[in-house]
Amino acid sequence: MDITIIVSNFTNPPILFFFLGVLAVALRSNLTIPTPLPRFFALYLLFSIGFKGGVELHKSGLQTEVFICLLLAMLLSIIIPIYNFLLLRRRTDLQNAGAIAATYGSISAVTFITAMSFLSERGLPAGGHMVAAMALMEAPAIIIAVIMVRLASKTEGNSNGHNGSLRHLLREALTEGSVFLLLGSLLIGITTNEAGAESVKPFSDQIFRGMLCLFLLDMGIVSARKMGAIRKGGLFFTLFALLMPLLNAALGLLLSYAFRLEAGNAFLMTVLAASASYIAVPAAMRSALPEANPGLFVTMSLAITFPLNIILGIPVYFQLVQWLWN
């Protein structure tokens, strides 16, 4: 494995801005990003990646690999929360097991966006349909995890976890702001012509990395502030947040290799499998599993799994794909 790829990731501006945010908290600096801006940065990144993905999907058209990628994405978002839930059920209560399983079965759009930027710097192409694959992985993981809670709840003879219908849950998952904007931008990118894409290029493309740097600066601040909360969960949850992404990544890599996806698409599929949600899942869990503790599952994904993936995971997954596909 080429260690220079990992080292170079540490000198990547977005990653350095993430570390700057962590350092600000460690040194007790009063550096903060004003409250409305992080939300704007997130919306911009989702718009940009969705729109560009739609434009690329329009160019490439519907091919066999597109359908395979979308099916694999759906399969991963079903399998991962099932085995996560079965493992977690032995160590925590039903609602927390379901919420954590949904978190690790779903995805982190920011991790995906960081991986796209990493891939672009190395000149390895990936299909625009991978944005659609990312969007498809949000809702199934949430629904499967809630179904698992309900089935276990019936078996154990209690009523926990029976809040809201599956229809309501599906609607909430698909209309959650980040998912809705991502899907909407993807569809607009598919339907626009080349002139339309070119007209918004200065906004959708040229300032992308600067926005990503500012967003990861804020993510570094937030992650560092939440690190203390995970100690209350115990060693098991810390190890879970460190090791489960690696297991999920291995599954994504194995399936990508088995179906011979193109290298860039395989890398992004692996990143999606390894990532964990901290936006869509908490929003859905408020009504679906209200007794679950967000201080546990949000902190696990945001303060441990997210930094693990963007700092070490992305370059390591890239190297594994390079090794297997060459």
| Run of H or E residues at 273 | helix 263-274
Cα–Cα distances in angstroms (integers) from residue 210 to residues 50, 207, 215, 251, 259, in the given order: 17, 5, 9, 33, 36
| Residue ranges with strand state E in 129-194 | none
State the pTM of this model: 0.79
Q: What is the pLDDT of residue 261?
A: 93
Q: What is the pLDDT of residue 172?
A: 63
Q: What is the pLDDT of residue 313?
A: 94
Distance CA 216, CA 222 (A): 10
Closest to 216 measured CA to CA, from 35, 15, 10: 15
Q: What is the pLDDT of residue 86?
A: 94
The residue length of the chain stands at: 326
Cα–Cα distances in angstroms (integers) from residue 59 to residues 53, 191, 310, in the given order: 10, 11, 29
Cα–Cα distances in angstroms (integers) from residue 97 to residues 20, 62, 152, 291, 326, in the given order: 33, 38, 11, 11, 39
How crowded is residue 176: how many other Cβ atoms within 10 Å of its Cβ? 20
Q: What is the pLDDT of residue 4?
A: 67
DSSP-derived letter for residue 205 is I
Per-residue pLDDT of the chain (326 residues; tens, 9 = 90+): 556 666 666 777 888 888 898 899 889 999 988 888 888 888 888 788 778 777 877 776 667 888 899 899 989 999 999 999 999 998 888 989 999 999 999 988 889 988 988 898 888 888 878 888 887 787 788 888 888 888 887 776 665 444 556 676 667 666 767 667 877 887 888 888 777 788 888 887 778 888 888 888 887 888 788 776 666 667 899 999 999 999 999 999 999 999 999 999 999 999 999 999 877 777 677 767 888 887 788 889 888 999 999 989 999 999 999 999 98
